[in-house]
Amino acid sequence: MSVQQVLQTIKEKNIEWVDFRFVDLSGRGHHISLPAAEVDEETFVNGVAFDGSSIPGFRGIEESDMVMMPDTESAYIDPFTAHPTLIIMCNIYTPDGERYERDPRSIAQKAEEYLQKTGIGTAAFFAPESEFFIFDDVRYESSMNTSFYTVDSEEASWNTARKEEGGNLGFKVRTKGGYVPVAPVDTQQDIRSEMCRLLMEAGLRIERHHHEVATAGQGEINFRFDTLTKTADNLMKYKYIVHNTARQYGKVATFMPKPLVGDNGSGMHVHQSIFNGDTPLFWEKGAYANLSEIALNYIGGILYHAPALIALTNPSTNSFKRLVPGYEAPVNLVFSKGNRSAAVRIPVAAVTPKGCRIEFRTPDSTANPYLAFAAMLLAGLDGIQKKIDPRALGYGPLDRNIYELSDAEKREIRSVPGSLDEALDALLADSEFLTESGVFTKDFIDNYVELKRGEAKAVSMRVHPHEYSLYFDC
């Protein structure tokens, strides 16, 4: 969509407000709204000013002036506002017109530009499977003398004895028993369908939706793949619409990886491939899983750099509550065809040459998609450029259920870091694959690590409610 097309849309759709948005380091969206009458061609040349010092990890107060530069290709109409509003994603620039090196969206675009500079391919395609929970009630507090959380759902396995609910007490989702049941067990068909309707109106191509494995309202909606930055834009749109549709239904949606103990968490499996023009580069008929050497080297890069990658793809302390064995969480750094216990899976059912892809199953949706997708692409490209062979490094293929291996066999398999601090240590030790291309800078890595260290320290210093169960009577 060109600037003129955006201005025409504003006129034809009687748009009253234009909402300019950007994304911070943690992946949260921020926005400033301008009256539509104040938006003209100059707006797309000069941008929209904002205070960067108020955004965690951006700028100091002595250099706070920053500029949002709108990307007209990202425009869509907000389905929730009472006053007709057009949403436009922006890149962040300094006042002197320089691309801001800590802007996640600009980093994603630089990763795409770097791919083309390498001559390996012309486009990288991504498709995230972002899972979420829809709860009926969420309450939490963390203060000097109080620390608790409580969530509830009409579907939850713990509600079979709830008196006030009526006659549906026999149709609850069992723990780990929620994968694609029909109604009345699945109570969220309509809300997911409404989410899909709004997503399609906003421009996403929806492929399907379903209930996921966990109790208490876990779901998933799959949308069509696209190029790296566009997919990250689409994921931000997806989360915005999921959150606000749930709110309209009097419920609350969360992409938190592990909101419940004892059941599956929510991941974000990321499918990815590289094309050169119209030619898919990951396909080689007759090879293992029909994978080309380029695809194998890409996998090698992902698995070799995985400990550092995870600081960007699983960047919360809660991420590591999900990354434990036994809950379909891919903690083992191996690859396999069709095997969901491996960190990298190669889908093999009904796959065409253009559909040939790899699936990195470790990430979750606390990741900033612009940073996570860019980092995965750079790790894969490093593998291609250095011809990293995952087979030679002991990364598989492993076509057995890893959870059923003997302890001795499991010890031979590398695992993901066990905490956010360990992942951040790995990122500091192995960041050259991100910085040597100029896509990420050392300043960005150091600043990001400092921000995330602060989150990890804040959690580690808090008294945990379970500690009272363990130690109060000592």
Active site residues: 51, 129, 131, 212, 220, 269, 340, 359, 361
Structure tokens at 19: 């909402």
User: Phi and psi of 83, rounded to 5°?
Assistant: -100, 125
d(CA 364, CA 313): 6
**Regarding beta strands 206-211 and 226-227, do their DSSP bridges make them parallel or antiparallel, or are they unpaired?**
unpaired
Indicate the angle between helix axes 306-313 and 420-429, nearest 10 degrees.
120
Cβ proximity of 32 and 48 under 8 Å: yes
Angle at 204 between CA 71 and CA 255, to 5 degrees: 95
Structure tokens at 367: 């990741």
Structure tokens at 101: 């090196």
Residue 353 DSSP SS3: coil
138: left (phi over 0), alpha (psi -120 to 50) or beta: beta
Cα–Cα nearest to 237, from 201, 281, 261 = 201
Q: Give the other-Cβ count within 10 Å of 330's Cβ.
A: 24
